[in-house]
Chain A
Amino acid sequence: MQGLLAELFPHVVERPQDFLDSIVETLIMTGWSGTLMLVFGLILGVALTATKPRGILENRLIYQVLDKAINLLRSIPFVILIALLMNVTRLLMGTRIGVRGVIPPLVVGSTPFFARQVDSALAEVDPGLIEAAKSMGCRPLGIILRVYLREGTAAIARGATITLISLIGLTAMAGYVGAGGLGDYAIVFGYNYNRMDVVWASVIVIVLIVTVIQAAGTLIARKNTH
C-alpha cells in the first residue's frame, strides 16, 4: 500500500505534512464559513420570503433593500470581493491574511447565493399551508419555524448542498491571501512545478469532500420528504 502510494503520488508522499495541512485548511475554511453562511443565509432567505409582497410580515422597504443588496453582492467576483473587504476583514478578524483572513470574504461571497436558495425553497411551500396555519391562530414566528422551515427542509437541504459545494470552489482562491488549502497546494506545489500527482491528489480529496456533502444533503432531503 505504502509502496503503491509512493509510486502514484511521489511528491505528495515525500512531504505528507504539507498535504495534510492543506486538507485541514480547506476543512477549516469550509467548516467555518459554511456554518456562518448557513446561519446568515437562512436568516436572510427567511427575511426575504417573509417581507415579500403578500408575505407574512410584508414590508416593502426591508424587502427592497435585502433584494438589491443580495443581487449586488452576488454580482461581485470573489477575487475582487477579497480586495474590497480587506479593511472589514482586518477589523473583524484582526488580520486580513491566512485562514482567518479569508473567512469573511467567503461568508459574504456565499451567503447571498444561499439566501436566494432558501428564498426559492420557501417559495415552494404551498401558500395553502400558510393560510391553514394562520387560520389555526399561528403567529408569524410560529409560521416561520413550524411551517416554512419544516416544510421547506428538503428544498433548503438541496440548496445548502449546492452552495457548500460552490463554497469549496471559492476556497481554492484562498491562496491569494495566504490561507492555503487544497487549491493553493495543487497550484503552488503541483502545477507550478509540473507535479501532476500533487494536482490529482488534491482533486481526489476535493471530490471526496464534495461527495460526502452531497450524500449528507441528499440524505437530509430524503428524510424530510414524505
Chain B
Amino acid sequence: MITLEHVSKTFAGSGSSVHAVRDVSLEIHEGEIFGIMGFSGAGKSTLVRLINLLERPDNGRVVVDGRVLTDLNSRELSQARKKIGMIFQQFNLFATRTALQNVSFPLRYSGMRRDDIRERAQELLRFVELEDKADSYPSQLSGGQKQRVAIARALASNPKILLCDEATSALDPQTTTSILHLLKRLNSELGITIVIITHQMEVVKQVCNRVAVMEAGRVVETGDVFDIFANPQQPVTQSFVSAATNLSRIHKLIEQDAPITRVKPGECIMRMKYLERSSSEALVSQLSRRYALDLNIIFGSIEMIGENPLGGLIVTVSGAPESINGAIQYLRDKNVEVEVLVDARAAR
C-alpha cells in the first residue's frame, strides 16, 4: 500500500544541516495498522510527511497505492493526497468554521452538490459520535472531540490511508483509548490502512499490528508488535520496551539492595519472560510441584499486546541446585526466557 524506497530528507539549518530521515526503506501493507515509534527528534514526523509529500524527499521514491507520488506534478499530487487522510497532535481544525464546516471543507469545490456535502458531513460526524456538535466551533470542543472532528474531516474524501502524527499525544489516557478505539473501527469497518506515529508505548501496544522503530533518522528495527516487545533487538527498542514494562524496575531494586531482593545461600532470583503468544500455563505451580522448589513471586507484569499477553515474573527460587537447573531447562524448553539476576546457589 505504501512503499518507501531509500528516502532521505535533509534540512538545511543555519550553519549545519539536519539529516532528519536517512535512507529509509519501508513497506506498509494494505489494511494494517502500522506504528512508527522513536524518541523526540528521531525523524518520525518527517518520515510520515514524506508519505504524502508534505515534505519532498531529497532522494528515493514514494509509492502509494501503486502510484509513484514522487513522479507526480503538483496538480496530480493534490489529487492523490485526497486519498491519504492525515490527523495531527494539535488537531489543526479551522477555528472560524463549525465542526460541520470543518468536515465539509475537503468536499467543497469538488463538484459535489451542497446538500450532498451536508449530508455526507453529518454522516461522518455520526460515525465519530459527534452529530450533536455539528454547529459547535472548535474552541467549544474538548481535545478528544476536536480529534474526532479532525478524523471525520480526514475521512471526508474516502481515503484509503490515514496518517496520524502523534494524534493522541495531547490527550489524557482515557480519551486516548477512545480515539484509539475509533481508529481501530476505521481500520476494521472501512478497511483503512493506518500509520500511527507515537512515542507512547501504550498506543503501539493497543492498536498496531507492526511497528518500525526510528533513531537518528534511520529505521533501526521493524517487525510484528508482539515480537518487537517480546524480543527487542536494538538498544533504543529495548529502552522503549523496558520503559513500558515494570519488570526492569528489579534492576533498580537490586542496585539499592532492597529487602525483597536479598537472598539466602542456595537461593536465586530469576526473571522469567514469556516469549510465546497466549502463554497462560500455570508455570509457577508446575515448577514447584515438578521440581520441589519454593517459588516466591517478587513481582510480575503482564501486558496485553493487541490480543496477546506479554510479560513475565520475577521470582526468588529456593531448592536443590540440580532442581533449580532442571527447572531452568524446563522453562527454556517451553520458550520462556530465563535470566538469573541474583545468584547465591553456589554459596550454600
A interface residues with partner B (beta carbon < 8 Å): 126, 128-129, 131-139, 142, 146-147, 150-151, 153, 224-226
Contact = CB atoms under 8 A, between A and B. Distances in A.
A142 to B, nearest CB: 7
18 contacts: A126-B90, A128-B88, A128-B90, A129-B94, A132-B88, A132-B150, A135-B84, A135-B85, A136-B153, A136-B154, A137-B78, A138-B78, A139-B75, A146-B105, A150-B96, A150-B97, A226-B137, A226-B138
A226 B86 contact: no
Interface string B248-280: 000000000000000000000000000000000
Contacts of B150: 132
A131 B94 contact: no
Nearest to B107: A136
A10 B74 CA distance: 69
B198 interface: no
B319 interface: no
A135 B94 contact: no
Contact of B54 (A134, A151, A153, A226): A134
B318 interface: no
A142 B139 contact: no
Nearest to B153: A136
Contact of A137 (B90, B106, B138, B163): B106
Main secondary structure of the interface of A (DSSP, over half): helix
B36 to A, nearest CB: 17
Contacts of B54: 131, 134-135
Q: Which of A136, A138, A224 has the most C-beta atoms of chain B within 10 angstroms of its own C-beta?
A: A136
B95 interface: yes
Given A137-B80, A226-B137, 20 more contacts: A126-B90, A126-B92, A128-B88, A128-B92, A129-B92, A131-B54, A131-B88, A132-B92, A134-B81, A135-B52, A135-B54, A135-B81, A135-B84, A135-B85, A136-B153, A137-B78, A146-B105, A153-B96, A224-B96, A225-B96
A131 B108 CA distance: 18
B105 A139 contact: no
Nearest to A128: B92
B106 to A, nearest CB: 4
B41 to A, nearest CB: 19
B96 A151 contact: yes
Contacts of A138: 78
Interface residues of B, number: 32
A60 to B, nearest CB: 14
Nearest to A224: B96
Nearest to A145: B109
Interface in B146-195: 150, 153-154, 156-157, 163
B79 interface: yes
B61 interface: no
Interface of B: 52, 54, 74-75, 78-82, 84-86, 88, 90, 92, 94-97, 105-106, 108-109, 137-139, 150, 153-154, 156-157, 163
Contacts of A137: 78-82, 106, 157
A226 B52 contact: no
B157 A136 contact: yes
A132 B88 CA distance: 8
B109 A142 contact: yes
Nearest to A226: B137
A226 B106 contact: no
Contacts of A135: 52, 54, 81, 84-86, 154, 163
A153 B95 CA distance: 11
A194 to B, nearest CB: 53
Given A135-B84, A226-B137, A150 B94 contact: yes
A135 B153 CA distance: 11
A151 B95 CA distance: 7
A75 to B, nearest CB: 28
A98 B138 CA distance: 51
A164 B86 CA distance: 41
Contacts of B79: 137
Q: Which of A129, A131, A135, A138 has the most C-beta atoms of chain B within 10 angstroms of its own C-beta?
A: A135
A136 B75 CA distance: 13
A150 B96 CA distance: 7
Contacts of A147: 94
Contacts of B90: 126, 128
Nearest to A133: B105
A177 B96 CA distance: 44
A131 B154 CA distance: 13
A226 B106 CA distance: 21
A54 to B, nearest CB: 11
Nearest to B84: A135
A226 B92 contact: no
A149 B238 CA distance: 48
A9 B163 CA distance: 71
A50 B157 CA distance: 26
Contacts of A142: 109
A147 B78 CA distance: 16
Given A136-B153, A136-B157, A142-B109, A131 B92 contact: yes
B221 to A, nearest CB: 28
B158 to A, nearest CB: 12
